[in-house]
Amino acid sequence: MLQPIIGIPCDVKQIGLFPFHAVGEKYITAAVGGAGGVAILIPSLGDASQLRAIVDLVDGILLPGSPSNVEPHHYQGEPSREGTLHDKARDATTLPLIDMLVKEGVPLLGICRGFQEINVVMGGELHQHVQEVPGLHDHREPDTQDLDHMYGPAHPVSLAAGSWLQGWLGCDSVQVNSIHQQGIKRLADGLVAEALAEDGLVEAYRFDKAPGFAYAVQWHPEWKYWDNKASQAIFKAFGDACRERRMRRNQ
């Protein structure tokens, strides 16, 4: 099968005295095994000339999750609390990159932080502490070092009538994991909710008006994707869109 090139933007993390650009391995294995691509890691240099070359190089972009948060000035949010983890370099890379990808119809899959980034770029807003919003639940991960527990099923999401997920899965609800403190406060115009948590928080959306595949989920389908039908469906759809772009570019 044709292997499209899937770019994954890095977080910038301090390891000892030096900054490193890094991506969690589970995103890489899901891009390769779940979407059938060749994964390339994209350094978060925030350089426009690099972004142009990257958009010309890739067949799709997977925006991974991260413990860091989008800086609130990008969506007119209140200043972050003292000690909030940000990643200025990632923001400076992914936010302009998303705009280019959507405009040019390059397939885009956002996961967790990536889900939040796309909403911000398209003009939406985020809750910074979902668990403190009246009526919303606590969506943070369980206090455990056991990853199977941390990334295991946490709550159901209802699939919107006519959603891609409902069509892919043939059901109206799935269980998802939950490892996030921030969430969608206002869904950007043009983004169509695909799934909602029990408290009404948007947990997945598609971007119908985008010329290409543009989909994002708040949960973590990359975690043991091979054991989860919804994860497999999401990565297959993303991989198929990337393959279609590859085939068009090969013509």
Ligand X SMILES: N[C@@H](CCC(=O)NCCCC(=O)O)C(=O)O
Catalytic residues: 112, 220, 222
CB half-sphere exposure, 109, CA atoms < 13 A: 27
CB of 220 to ligand X, least distance (A): 6
Binding mask 103-122 for ligand X (x = CB under 6 A): ---------xx---------
Say how many C-beta atoms besides its own lie within 10 A of residue 137's C-beta: 16
Contact call for residue 179 and ligand X (CB under 6 A): yes
Contacts with ligand X: how many residues (CB under 6 A)?
Answer: 14
Buried residues in 231-243 as b, exposed as e (16+ CB within 10 A): bbbbbebbbebbb
Q: Is 127 in the site for ligand X (CB under 6 A)?
A: no
In the region spanning residues 69 to 108, those forming contacts with ligand X, defined by CB under 6 A, are: 69
What angle do the packed helices 88-104 and 113-121 form, to 10 degrees?
A: 60
Q: CA 140, CA 194: separation in Å to the nearest integer?
A: 21
As measured in angstroms, the least distance from the Cβ of 49 to ligand X is 28
Question: Applying CB under 6 A, does 182 fall inside the site for ligand X?
Answer: yes
Contact pick of 48, 52, 56, 67 for ligand X (by CB under 6 A) = 67
65 binds ligand X (CB under 6 A): yes
Site string for ligand X, 132-171 (x = CB under 6 A): ----------------------------------------
2: left (phi over 0), alpha (psi -120 to 50) or beta: beta
Residue 191 pairs in a beta bridge with: 207
Q: Count of CB atoms within 10 A of residue 82's CB?
A: 5
Q: Under the rule (CB under 6 A), what is the footprint of ligand X? A: 24, 64-69, 112-113, 179-182, 220
